[in-house]
Amino acid sequence: MDWGSFSLGFGGLSVGALSLWLNYRERTQKLREALYTKHAEAFTEIMPRLADVHMEAQRFIAMQGCTLDSKTRPELRLNIANVASAYREALQRWYVFLPEAVISQLESFQKVLNGISSLDPNSRLYPPEYINSKDPGLLLGQAYTAVITAMRKSLGVEQLTAQTLKLIGEPKP
């Protein structure tokens, strides 16, 4: 066995593998950056519309004394119809780019909203704690906060903030 030929062949193979790996990393990094940009664009379009739905629903719930009954639940749905429609349009436009964790939280928010605003014949489709909630605004607020948390985690807000604080130095208390 010729060790010189072996080491030369192994070195060439190593250089070729390293070159392929670096090329792959370069291509996937560009795709990762493009997807991150799409996430940011989606979040900035969806979030204001979701905030409108949340605020209109909270306003209506507060006007009802923070409880809903079989008469006011459908009224809630009618009251937020316009802002809910704008939210659904934005969600449909960007759905394909959303991370699974964000989709899951958006679906949970929608389930809570549908439950606290359901018509009596459909109320059996939702958990009883949504239908008979003593504070539906609290349930909706928790679901809304979970969406924000999922979006922040997806964007890496905490990590970026920590890195920025390291660069500029921690503020003194």
Task: Extract the tokens encoding 54.
Answer: 């949340």
Nearest to 158 by CA among 94, 105, 34, 166: 166
What pLDDT shows up at residue 9? 67
Q: How far apart are CA 128 and CA 132, in angstroms?
A: 6
Q: What's the average model confidence in pLDDT over 119-144?
A: 89
The model's confidence at residue 20, banded by pLDDT at 50, 70 and 90, is: low
pLDDT over threshold 60, residue 166: yes
Q: Are 70 and 120 in contact (CB under 8 A)?
A: yes
Task: Extract the tokens encoding 53.
Answer: 């739905």
- Which amino acid belongs to residue 173? P
Q: Check: pTM over 0.95? Answer yes or no.
A: no
What pLDDT shows up at residue 40? 87
- Which amino acid belongs to residue 17? A
Exposure on the CB side of residue 52, measured as CA atoms within 13 A: 15
Q: Are 38 and 155 in contact (CB under 8 A)?
A: no
